[in-house]
Amino acid sequence: MNHKESQFLKIKKPEIRPIESYKKRLRTALLLAHGNRSKVQMFYHIIINSIQNMSIIQKRTVFGVAVLAGLVITAGIFGPSAASVAHAEAQELVGRAFARISNLSETERAELEQKFGERVQFQGNGQGPFMGMNDLAPEEIEKMHATIKASLVDALAEAQAAPDLKIISADEMPTPGFVGKAGRAVGLKMRQNQTPEEKLANLPADVRERIEEHSAFREEMQPVSFLVYTNSNGQVVYLGVNAENEPVAKFIKSENGSVPIAPGQMMKYKVQNRNAQ
């Protein structure tokens, strides 16, 4: 200890006189004022105090639960909605389909284009059966082909542009509207191998061969999922995509009968419908 320090240690300091009256009042006021404070704050303090007294494992558990709850709440508020997730998934499928058809050779693509065109079906009105290109008069086919986007690229581009685009699996596909000729043509929901093995073995070889070819074709063109959207005419479109991400079928369902069929063809459709009844 140096001289200067000892000098400082020796300084005469003021004594603290008893201030009991003031102290007593302050004590009462302090405790009363604190007691009047928000119960919520007290509750908060008790919670924090309890956390402080927890073991590290308990704290980690509490922290983990709090983080999880925070994430759930944040995801609920800021996260994508189910609709937007479905839309994004559907857009991803459209992207894969575009990539798939662009990777096909010219021949493969032309072949697929033809098969797809044959499997584009549209509905005259909400109750009527579906029609295909083969049901149209030759002079109407080209016009109709463009109108209903019956080519691979046009069909995918239309799906891509639809704001309500989503995916459903083949099992979720509504069946009532897809019965009849069109339904049978695409083999949708058609029961496979209805003929028992024995019966098939007894059939003539050429028939068996045709059946086997048809089975292979049906398998290749079997949609595993459908891109569902509303087109610019307000019609609900189901664009079937197979396991290889190739568009293989398209159904245009008109809820209000406004399917874009040329007047002449509408007459043909009506006659067919009447004859069927």
Partner 1 sequence: MNKSEERELIQQAKKDPEAFGAIFDAYYDQIFGYVLKRVGDVHLSQDITADTFFKALDRLWQFRWRNISILSWLYRIATNETNQYFRGDKKRLYSLDRLLEENNIEFLGEVDIMEEIINQEKEMERAEDWIKVRKLLKNLPEKYQEVVALRYFEDKKISEISEILGKKEGTIKSLLSRAMDKMQL
C-alpha closest to that of 94 among 104, 102, 82: 102
Give the x-and-dash track for 50-79 against partner 1 (CB under 8 A): --x---------------------------
Stretch that binds partner 1, among 45-53, 70-78, 134-142, 169-177 (CB under 8 A): 45-53
Of the residues 49, 81, 107, 232, which one makes contact with partner 1 according to CB under 8 A: 49
In the complex, the smallest distance separating the C-beta of residue 11 from partner 1, rounded to whole angstroms, is: 4
* Nearest distance, CB of residue 55 and partner 1, angstroms: 15
Strand arrangement of the beta sheet that strand 130-132 belongs to = 130-132, 120-123, 247-253, 236-241, 225-230, 166-169
Give yes or no for residue 46 binding partner 1 (CB under 8 A): yes
Supply the minimum distance, in Å, between the C-beta of residue 64 and partner 1. 22
Residue among 141, 128, 143 at smallest CA distance from 181: 128
Q: Which is nearer to partner 1, 34 or 214 (CB)?
A: 34
- For residue 3, the minimal CB distance to partner 1 (Å) is 10
Rounded to 5°, the CA angle 107-109-114 comes to 100
String marking each residue 3-42 x if it binds partner 1 according to CB under 8 A: -xx-xxxxxxxxxxxxxxxxx-xxxxxxxxxxxxx-----
User: Least CB distance from residue 62 to partner 1, whole Å?
Assistant: 16
Burial code of 239-257, b = ≥16 C-beta within 10 A, e = fewer? bbbbeebbbbbbbbbbeee
Smaller CB distance to partner 1: residue 5 or 206?
A: 5
DSSP for 122-185, please give it. EESSSSSPEEEGGGS-HHHHHHHHHHTT-SHHHHHHHHHH-TT-EEEEGGGS--GGG-HHHHHH
Binding footprint of partner 1 on the chain (CB under 8 A):
2, 4-5, 7-23, 25-37, 45-46, 48-49, 52
